[in-house]
Amino acid sequence: MIESHATDLPATRPLAKPLASRLREDIALRRAAPALGGLLAIVVVVGIGAFAVLGAVPHGGFDPPGVVDHIGGLRDALAAPFARWDSVWYLTIAQHGYTPGPSPAFFPLYPLLVAGVGALGPGLLVGGVLVSLAAMLVALRLLWRLTELELGRAQRDVADLAVFAVALGPMAFFFSAVYSESLYLALTLGAFLSARQERWARAGLLGALAAATRSSGLLVIVGLGLLALEQRRPESRWARWPPGRAVSSPEVRAAPAGRRDLLWIGVVPLGLLAYLGALAVAGLDPLEPFSSQQEWFRHFTGPLGGVLDGGRAAFDGARQLLSGQTRTVYYPLAGGDPLIAGWHNVMLFGFLLGSLPLLAGALRRLPLAYGVYALAGTCLALSYPVSPQPLTSLPRYLVVLFPLPIALALWLARHPRLRLPVLGASAVSLAGFTELFATWHWIA
């Protein structure tokens, strides 16, 4: 028996050593893990603590008992930072599938993964958290790699800053919650990185998965198409940016493969079409993912209409807050407590204003594909305002536009003294919004 064990040991070492070596050599993973750990620490400590001390505000019976709330004692507190509001939709879809009504507005890939992981034993709620955290780790790793690929190893501090800017962003708690944000971010980053490496089949397939995760996934076509065009033109801005970057990076294939890149980009809409086809086969209206948006009073106005509506709501909200009273309601469309509604509209417009310099930085300092993708995502989010609260969910739409934190990281790299104050203030904001989210306050 002793001799048998002795002969087995040398055979197992060659298998274990390469895996350990890969983990040690994966600098992107080593950068991503602490950032995710920081996010998780803030969300868990603040979220559970806020729920334990403050409890939950009335939320109109939004949650059916036993889905994310009223699940029993300690479990209610543990679920508080991770499962609120739209989490109910994702978990209900994962358990029961789609039904006529608003549920088809929530695209299928995320609840499918939640159902799959939950069936392995942890249950749907824990399975949803695990899917979100795993996707977030992948997303942060891909963000680091993509940023380093574009800027070069000499500016790895920008990649580090970008990772922490995402993980400690004010709305980063959505990445660890039972929401599709982290999965969508990972898929879009994977599609862009694959395109930069001339792996067009992978880029198209990841883009299709993004289109099956959120309706905005179709916008990946914009970025991938521009990447294909730019890489076909060695004299273009792509080859000149950033100054000193070598075009023949070892991670980038030498030349485009004919028209295969454009063919694979055409795969992206198949993710959406597959979902609509599945709804039709199930006997549901295949257009319900779009028509059901009326349940939330969304209507098309174009991006300028969203800006104007959001600006008016924010102006009236500021008047309401400055007045400090509720007798005169300056924005009656909002309904409910006018002071709370005023705060929401001011806060949402503040996120829009804060995104504009980052968007300008992405357009000016990043390759064209990145800036245009971020611009398209912002315009789409602004084009469908909600009458009572025009910029509803805007922070969630912005948080997955990865060129924005890269632009912030570039700015912080040029102002090293502001790195700690900016990231610290962002982390404090993350803690504040986590507290509100965990106690059933509506955020975005």
- The DSSP secondary structure of 113-152, one letter per residue, reads HHHHHHHTTT-HHHHHHHHHHHHHHHHHHHHHHHHHHHH-
φ, ψ for residue 252, nearest 5 deg: -110, 130
Radius of gyration in angstroms for the set of CA atoms belonging to the chain, rounded to a whole number? 23
Is-contact 176 82, C-beta < 8 A?
Answer: yes
Does 412 map to a domain? no
Cβ neighbours, 10 Å, residue 312: 15
The answer to whether residues 211 and 317 belong to one domain is: no
Exposed/middle/buried for 65, CB within 10 Å: 0-12, 13-18, 19+? exposed
How far apart are alpha carbons 72 and 66 in whole angstroms? 8
H/E run at residue 439? none
Numbers of helices and strands, H then E, in the chain: 21, 0
pLDDT at position 249 is 45
The answer to whether residues 360 and 440 belong to one domain is: no
- SS3 helix, strand, coil % of the chain, rounded to 5? 70, 0, 30
The answer to whether residues 89 and 122 belong to one domain is: yes
The answer to whether residues 100 and 240 belong to one domain is: yes
User: What is the total count of domains within the chain?
Assistant: 2
The answer to whether residues 278 and 308 belong to one domain is: no
Alpha helices per DSSP H over 292-367: 303-323, 338-365
Does 332 map to a domain? yes
pLDDT at position 234 is 54
pLDDT at position 12 is 43
The answer to whether residues 84 and 230 belong to one domain is: yes
Is-contact 403 188, C-beta < 8 A?
Answer: no
The answer to whether residues 395 and 338 belong to one domain is: yes
Does 324 map to a domain? yes
Is-contact 177 437, C-beta < 8 A?
Answer: yes
Q: Could you tell me the residue range of the domain that residue 332 belongs to?
A: 297-401
pLDDT at position 18 is 60
Is-contact 394 382, C-beta < 8 A?
Answer: yes
Does 411 map to a domain? no
* Chain centre distance of CA 44: 19
pLDDT at position 294 is 82
Q: Could you tell me the mean pLDDT of each successive run of 10 residues in the chain, 444 residues long?
A: 40 49 79 96 97 87 78 88 94 93 94 96 94 98 95 86 97 97 98 94 97 95 91 53 42 51 89 96 92 85 94 96 94 92 96 97 94 97 93 96 97 96 97 96 90
Strand-pair partners of 298: 386
Does 231 map to a domain? yes
The answer to whether residues 434 and 393 belong to one domain is: no
pLDDT at position 21 is 63
Does 7 map to a domain? no
Helix (H, G, I), strand (E, B) or coil at 153: helix
Does 19 map to a domain? no
Does 236 map to a domain? yes
pLDDT at position 295 is 82
The answer to whether residues 231 and 346 belong to one domain is: no
The answer to whether residues 210 and 328 belong to one domain is: no
Structure tokens at 83: 């499962």
Q: Is 252 left (phi over 0), alpha (psi -120 to 50) or beta?
A: beta
Exposed/middle/buried for 4, CB within 10 Å: 0-12, 13-18, 19+? exposed
Does this model's pTM top 0.75?
yes
pLDDT at position 79 is 92
The angle formed by the CA atoms of residues 413, 417 and 420, to the nearest 5 degrees, is 85
The answer to whether residues 275 and 312 belong to one domain is: no
How far apart are alpha carbons 150 and 132 in whole angstroms? 27
The answer to whether residues 282 and 396 belong to one domain is: no
